[in-house]
Amino acid sequence: MIYKNFAVPVGCFNLVLPGCLKLNVFMKTKSLLIIFVLLLTAFKAVTAQTWERIYGMPNRYENTYGVANTYDMGIIQATRVNWDALWLNKTDVNGNILWSKYYKHPYQSIYVGCLTRYSPDNSLLIAGGSTQIDDWGDPVLFKVNACGTLDWCKIWNIVGGNYGVQVLNTLSGDIILHTRYASESGGFDNRFQLVKLDANGNFLWIKHIMPQSEYPNIINEDMYSLINTSDNGFLFGGRGYYRDTANPDLFWLRNMVVKCNSEGDEEWVGVYFTQRDEEEFHGVIGSVFELNGNYYAGGTRYLKYGNQTIASTPVLLKINNTGKLLSHHHTFGDSIVFSLPWAFDVINDTAVFMVTRTTPSLSQGVHIGMIITDSLGNINKALDNEIGYAIEDCLTKTHDDKYIVTGGVYSDNEYDAYALKVNSQLEWDTLYNGNFTYDSLCPFPIDSTVIICNCDITTGVKSTQPRKKVEILNVYPNPAVNQVEVILPENITCSVIEITDLFGRIAIKKETGKYVTEEVFDISGLYEGYYIVSLIDNNQILLSGKFLKKLK
């Protein structure tokens, strides 16, 4: 039985203006801030023992965009409210709210994109967007300490629409922020970038990833996932629209995996497509992870049903550290047929926990699904939750090695924040009995407050960080019409040179002998467009370069 239990406090609540003053606001005052009501027990419970929670207030739109563990067995959730405010909830081990912080600008919107725990001091990093400067929005980053106090809040002012999507820690204690729609027009070019900041939020460098000037045949790219890699780099998963070299007026949706080094320069861009199996890779990558020296990307292929294109079976790609596709597998299941893998966690070397955006039939809406697979994508167990939908950073592993999945749910004609907890066997978790000590690092009681955010505004560095020169194959002339010459590194052993279009289709393939220093290729018969040249040895890409083929 589902029921609502709203506890509405009376009297006063605290209103905090960082760096200014603290006010008491009488609850009967009719103002915009009055929509924040302390929800210390405000949730809908499915049963008394099952760990499933719905958080919300009447006549508000709430979705949880990030979740993280806290040092004291608690849980912190960052929820977007009405697309214009951030609601930060600290809960106990059973999901009951201990305290809340409601971040709001006096006149403009603040919205959350994700949340992560900042490892060095147990504080929180919350990324999102703000319209404090203009209606297009700008990236905003909050750092909140373990007691819920705002350490700092910074807005990076850039022309055009923009917001923070993901935030990561680095081993050095710096912060990496991924922003979307980084172009001045907010349009098809330069749509995402990495920003590096120090622990105080000061900008160190900014890198446009796949700038339009270098990738003119890829448009409208979006990255949905970002992780740190074991070599201190970064791995994105998402999608882009690629110009068809055979028909330049057409752009095709393709999955995309992008690997960057520690300086934010892309090392390779992977688009996984084969002519013999074309339909397998008309899709997007929802999430990526690393396991035993290889990268894995979970996505979906798209199929057509009549005139309608829909997401179909999940696909798990295995990729080596140079971007070469090692294998791909369909993840089939009777109860989870139409799914997009949206978040992963590696349980062990033979088991992966996968959260999906799922619908069991074409006539039903999308909701949360969960799958346990092996590293080949074979399903060991699946759970169709039937309600709720996953959003952005929706998965965290708890201190007791279980999983909390967050997002939103449509219930009783309203959209509310949603959370559930299961174990690694996809069995529903039950509630803990007994007393736990929370917020032990805090020497004072923590108030649930409204925080008016007048964030520091910065333009960051005056210009983007120069892109580091990565060792590549030297191909010239570029652009070229009839032929190109590829300069090979010294002491090369017998290898293979492949020239492929941006879809991964091999246009030219040639073996090169030992100690050969250059190879010439006739490209007069190729279509106009960009081509990738790869030097391959033992199925490993050693170096790559690119050139633009022109007709004249």
Tokens found for residue 189:
């070019």
- Asked if 137 and 161 count as a contact pair (C-beta separation under 8 A), the reply is yes
CA distance 238 to 225: 7
- Asked if 196 and 175 count as a contact pair (C-beta separation under 8 A), the reply is yes
Q: What is the pLDDT of residue 216?
A: 80
Task: Summarize pLDDT for 344-392 with one digit per residue, the tens.
Answer: 888 888 888 988 887 655 556 778 888 898 888 788 888 888 888 888 7
Task: Summarize pLDDT for 219-242 with one digit per residue, the tens.
Answer: 888 888 999 999 999 999 998 888
CATH of domain 1-208+411-464: 2.130.10
Q: What is the pLDDT of residue 332?
A: 58
What rounded mean pLDDT belongs to the chain? 78
Average pLDDT over every residue of 429-441: 90
Which of 95-99, 135-139, 183-187 shows the lowest mean pLDDT across its residues?
Answer: 183-187
| Confidence band for 502, pLDDT divided at 50, 70 and 90 | low
Q: How many CA atoms lie within 13 A of 384 on its CB side?
A: 15
Task: Summarize pLDDT for 324-336 with one digit per residue, the tens.
Answer: 888 887 765 544 4
Sign for the CA dihedral angle at 199, 201, 206, 208 comes to positive
Residues of the chain with CATH 2.115.10.20: 214-386
More confident residue, 42 or 366: 366
Residues of the chain with CATH 2.60.40.3080: 474-549
| Confidence band for 190, pLDDT divided at 50, 70 and 90 | low
| Amino acid identity at 123 | S
Q: What is the pLDDT of residue 369?
A: 86
- pLDDT beyond 50 at 427: yes
Rg (CA), the chain: 25
- pLDDT beyond 80 at 265: yes
- pLDDT beyond 50 at 35: no
Which of 261-265, 333-337, 452-456 shows the lowest mean pLDDT across its residues?
Answer: 333-337
Q: What is the pLDDT of residue 364?
A: 62
Q: What is the pLDDT of residue 175?
A: 93
Strand order in the sheet with 192-197: 163-169, 175-180, 192-197, 203-208
For domain 474-549, the CATH class is mainly beta
More confident residue, 502 or 509: 509
Q: What is the pLDDT of residue 3?
A: 27
Predicted structure pTM score: 0.76
Which of 27-36, 224-233, 372-381, 453-462 shows the lowest mean pLDDT across its residues?
Answer: 27-36
Q: Strand pairing partners for 108?
A: none
Average pLDDT over every residue of 30-42: 33
Residues of the chain with CATH 2.130.10: 1-208+411-464
CATH of domain 214-386: 2.115.10.20
Q: What is the pLDDT of residue 230?
A: 95
Which of 31-35, 421-425, 463-467 shows the lowest mean pLDDT across its residues?
Answer: 31-35
